[in-house]
Amino acid sequence: MGVQMGSPFELLLGRRTYDVFAAAWPQIDAASPINSTRKYVLTHRPLPPETNVWKNSVALDADPVRSLGRLKEGEGPDLQVHGSSGLIQLLLAHDLVDELWVKIYPVTLGSGKRLFGEGTQTGAWELLGAKSSPSGVLIANYRRAGALKTGSFAP
């Protein structure tokens, strides 16, 4: 996570993830880059009053695809999404993802959420790096690599 958050970044969060993070992060480590960075929240509900809101949090307007497109086109640091599985599906469906950091944990829980769900745009990804943690978590970093090129196994 240190490498992923070692360069300037801003967060893009769905409302449920925002509520979970906002309840915990300010008490975990006040100096954390997560606390000091700008946080964009995709939500239909207003954020809490300014006195109770997690510092630097901004609600996005009613048209999420337009709002996200404007954020991507603007000048500024990388936008990172942590958690927010519904938001990730929206981003993938509208081809708004440039890079993925996939963390695979060595547990099985039965059925769950799909990373590449219904509506994900077809495309190619290039592996930038991969590591494993001492506990066996695989961490792979991919960058968008344009259109999918199909091939065959024929010699």
Q: What is the pLDDT of residues 25-44, one digit of tens each?
A: 888 766 678 888 899 998 88
Residue 150 lies in a domain: no
**Do the domain assignments include residue 4?**
no
Residue 60 contacts residue 66 (beta carbons within 8 Å):
no
2 lies in a domain? no
pLDDT of 1 reads: 54
Angle between helices 85-93 and 64-73 (to 10 degrees): 80
Q: In angstroms, rounded to a whole number, what is the distance separating the alpha carbons of residues 112 and 94?
A: 22
105 lies in some domain: yes
CATH number of the domain that residue 111 is part of: 3.40.430.10
pLDDT at res. 28: 79
* Residue 127, domain extent: 9-144
Residues in the chain with pLDDT < 50? none
